[in-house]
Amino acid sequence: MKYYLFIFLFWITTRVDAQISSLQVDSLPATGVPFDKGWSWRPENAKDTVWKPIDVSLPFSENPNFASSKVSWLRLILTIDSSLCQRPLALLTRQTGASEIYLNGKLIRQLGKVSEDPTSEITSSTALGSISYLVFPKTGTYTLTVRHSYTSSPTFFQKLFPSKKVMFEATLIEPTGRFEKAFQSGRYVAWYNWSLAGLFLVMAVLHFILYLYNTTKSYNRTFALCLLFATLHFVVGDGLFGISHPFTASLLTFAYSLFISLYILILCYTIISYLQQPISWFFKVLGVVFLTVTSVSILTPDAPLTQYIYYGSILGLLVEVVRKVVLARKSNQRDSRSLILSFVLMIVFLSARLLIISGTIQVGSVQNWANFLMIAFYACTPLTLSMLIARSISTTEKELQSKLKEVEELSLEKQRILSQQNDLLEKQVAERTSALTQSLKHLKATQQQLIQSEKLASLGELTAGIAHEIQNPLNFVNNFSEVSVELLDELKSERTKKERDEELENEILDDIFQNLEKINYHGKRASSIVTGMLQHSRASTGKKEPINLNTLADEYLRLSYHGLRAKDKSFNAKMNTFLDESLPKVNVIPQDFGRVLLNLINNAFYAVQAKGKLEIKDYSPTVSVHTQATEQGIVIKVEDNGTGIPEELKSKIFQPFFTTKPTGQGTGLGLSLAYDIVTKGHGGTIELDSIEGEGTTFIITLPNPS
């Protein structure tokens, strides 16, 4: 029974192996020995006795059973000739997915990490291939087995264009053969990444320098930033080559996709800015959606919806840019034609690459053509835009040089004309200067006459008031003199009596003494009035003296009132004084400051007199003088309830020769002189507060005495 069972098992084994032919390797040509036939396959969870033939050169789409199995085993039986024994050989493998390669059960190479879990699997799918070194110790049969997995979900493009790449490909080559040399020196993926990174980095630096040279062209800054993101994208892309750590690979993949998304978005923005077109709300919204979906599509690469939105956003951005380019073209911007051509070339390059990768177009070296077309795709529009910006700068420089030359020619012509005009003007100026000198002398003489006329006018107005004021002390002098004479007669008569009344004599003498004091006081009063008139009439000495402003203000208020009364006996007005008793003496030029007070008070009485002639009911003409010591300075106010000053005339009131009085009644110099005396002569200020029809207040502020 045991004998029959052994025979049966031996028969089964020979039947299974009979279905699997071995690959005879007798020699090693320069092109190598491709292991493209004789492979068998089984799922990992199947029995070791169940092997099925498979053509590994076919893509996954043509091997659905192999594609549906997450982890599979591939096996190839080799018969090695003695000429290949005891010599170093190399196995060049290309694959899609992850694999572990065994020779007679011994692991000779691990490419990626094989796993049923897509999150744990690390694929190692490169077009370069991988070199594994091996030695066949003796002639005989060898078993080459491969444990393989490919569990990653296909991307949107892989669904749209199914990959034509082989599942697994192996070729036995000489270690120093042309395949080995090509592998060692032909890392064209790295060349592809670093060539583009170098190109974009140089362009980024150049355009940033252009921005620093002319900061008004802000699109140079955004273009430099765009190119910098492209540089980072390609640097990270090269870093992805050979990464086996899952977290590091995921992080680099995220950065890789984010940088290219930022590059696309900022490039579109730069083109629109360069064409001087407004950024629409549609572009802004689409940009936010694009960056958001970029992150989501990276985290969920197998979600069809995010992939559709991602590529739809790119298409929307390109459509918006094309729309702006067309608008620029309609406005006759010459650069728009070049940009349109660059977009067409981009589409051509990208379409050709997709057709080559998908196998629709057959070429000698798929990877070389794919990389070349991708370089052309990425560099087409940036290079076009960079050249347009350079041409724009060159054109601007030429225009500036041309305009500079024109300006120099015009400058020389203007200098010649100006030289001629200067000669003519110098002659005219000399003639007019002579005439103006004469006019100025005449004007100064006239001005002095007007100022003297103003002084004489104010002196004339004082005359009547002074006559009235001086009459009072003279009356007192006369009256007390007469009384004193009578008292002396009475004293003389008393002294002739035999019995003299000494007490009466003493009373008479006291009365005479008092009368003489009053005569002396009123005589001095008359003398001070005459002295004041003389001081007012003579020229100013320019010497400041400490003066009691209360006395000066009260005196000139009365003199002005009596002067006006002398001209118009029917005029009556109230005179109010609000004098600060604590007011210190102030250093002023008496003659000049007296003229200021007299002029302001005269104007106040003139205003209330004019309003009184209007016969307004219950109107009482009133002129008030205020003095007050404040922290800001000594304040003197002259206030009236007269006609007031219209608003449009307030700004002109202190101008020379401006007057509101009828012709012949004012010189127009009173307030102008008052303003100059207060501000220039005494370092103070004079302000006006007036309401038309209600009254006027002039406010003088002098610095506090030090």
Q: What pLDDT, in 10s, does the model give residues 44-79?
A: 887 777 788 888 877 766 777 776 778 889 999 999
- How far apart are the C-alpha atoms of 533 and 520, rounded to whole Å? 20
> What angle do helix axes 219-239 and 366-495 make, rounded to 10 degrees?
140
**pLDDT for position 432:** 82
**pLDDT for position 531:** 59
On the question of pLDDT at 672 being above 80, the answer is: no
In terms of pLDDT, which residue wins out, 633 or 563? 633
| CATH 3.90.1720.10 corresponds to the domain 539-702 | no
Strand ranges, E, within 548-603: 574-578, 586-588
Share of residues in the chain with pLDDT > 90 (%): 6
pLDDT band at 144 (very low <50, low <70, confident <90, very high): very high
Q: Which residues of 46-70 are buried (b: 16+ CB within 10 A; e: fewer)?
A: eeeeebeebebeeebeebeebeebb
pLDDT tens for 234-247 read 787 766 554 544 45
Torsion of Cα atoms, 553 then 559 then 564 then 565, to 10°: 120
166, two tokens = 């082989």
| CA dist list (Å): 398 to 333, 392, 403 | 19, 10, 9
**pLDDT for position 259:** 85
pLDDT tens for 600-627 read 888 888 888 888 888 888 889 999 999 9
Q: Which residues of 349-370 are buried (b: 16+ CB within 10 A; e: fewer)?
A: bbebbbebbeeeeeeeebbebb
**pLDDT for position 15:** 41
On the question of pLDDT at 3 being above 50, the answer is: no
- Closest among 7, 42, 11, 36 to 23, alpha carbons compared: 36
**pLDDT for position 18:** 38
Contact (Cβ atoms closer than 8 angstroms) between residue 596 and residue 677? yes
- In DSSP notation, 407-439 reads HHHHHHHHHHHHHHHHHHHHHHHHHHHHHHHHH
- How far apart are the C-alpha atoms of 398 and 390, rounded to whole Å? 12
pLDDT band at 191 (very low <50, low <70, confident <90, very high): low
- How far apart are the C-alpha atoms of 552 and 702, rounded to whole Å? 15
CATH code of the domain made up of 189-398: 1.20.1070
pLDDT band at 698 (very low <50, low <70, confident <90, very high): very high
Mean pLDDT confidence for 187-203: 72
In terms of pLDDT, which residue wins out, 166 or 273? 273
* 625 DSSP 8-state letter: E
- How far apart are the C-alpha atoms of 10 and 355, rounded to whole Å? 51
All CATH 1.20.1070 domain ranges of the chain, comma separated, are 189-398
- Closest among 613, 602, 601, 599 to 571, alpha carbons compared: 613
- Closest among 479, 477, 473, 467 to 526, alpha carbons compared: 473
Mean pLDDT confidence for 491-505: 74
Mean pLDDT confidence for 200-229: 81
Contact (Cβ atoms closer than 8 angstroms) between residue 570 and residue 686? no
On the question of pLDDT at 514 being above 80, the answer is: no
pLDDT tens for 648-664 read 888 788 776 666 666 54
**pLDDT for position 593:** 84
**pLDDT for position 681:** 84
**pLDDT for position 8:** 40
pLDDT band at 223 (very low <50, low <70, confident <90, very high): confident
All CATH 2.60.120.260 domain ranges of the chain, comma separated, are 21-185
Which range is least confidently modeled, 322-326, 493-497, 645-649? 493-497
In terms of pLDDT, which residue wins out, 557 or 187? 557
Is 576 strand, coil or helix? strand
Give the amino acid at 615. E
Residue 102: in which H helix or E strand, if any? Answer: strand 98-103
Contact (Cβ atoms closer than 8 angstroms) between residue 355 and residue 373? no
Is 86 strand, coil or helix? coil
List helix spans (H) across 112-187: 156-160, 178-185
pLDDT tens for 359-380 read 666 666 666 676 677 777 777 8
Which range is least confidently modeled, 211-215, 260-264, 574-578? 211-215
On the question of pLDDT at 635 being above 90, the answer is: yes
pLDDT tens for 560-599 read 887 777 677 788 888 899 998 888 988 888 878 888 888 8
313, two tokens = 């956003």
| CATH 1.10.150.120 corresponds to the domain 21-185 | no
**pLDDT for position 668:** 56
**pLDDT for position 142:** 92
Is 144 strand, coil or helix? strand
Q: How far is C-alpha 25 from the chain's CA centre?
A: 76
pLDDT tens for 377-414 read 777 888 888 887 777 777 777 777 888 888 888 888 88
* 152 DSSP 8-state letter: P
Contact (Cβ atoms closer than 8 angstroms) between residue 523 and residue 564? no
Burial class of 79 by CB neighbour count within 10 A (0 to 12, 13 to 18, 19+): middle
Contact (Cβ atoms closer than 8 angstroms) between residue 642 and residue 608? yes
Per-chain mean pLDDT for the chain:
76
410, two tokens = 């015009």
**pLDDT for position 365:** 62
pLDDT band at 227 (very low <50, low <70, confident <90, very high): confident
pLDDT tens for 533-552 read 555 455 455 688 888 888 88
**pLDDT for position 13:** 39
- How far apart are the C-alpha atoms of 403 and 654, rounded to whole Å? 52
**pLDDT for position 178:** 42
Strand ranges, E, within 556-644: 574-578, 586-588, 622-629, 634-640
- In DSSP notation, 379-406 reads HHHHHHHHHHHHHHHHHHHHHHHHHHHH
Mean pLDDT confidence for 666-692: 81
Token pair 């995921």 is found at: 250
- Closest among 198, 261, 228, 218 to 389, alpha carbons compared: 218
On the question of pLDDT at 156 being above 50, the answer is: no
Please tell me which of 46-60, 89-103, 500-514 the model is most confident about, judged by mean pLDDT: 89-103
**pLDDT for position 170:** 87
All CATH 3.30.565.10 domain ranges of the chain, comma separated, are 539-702
Is 170 strand, coil or helix? strand
- How far apart are the C-alpha atoms of 451 and 385, rounded to whole Å? 78
Helix %, strand %, coil % of the chain (to 5): 60, 15, 25
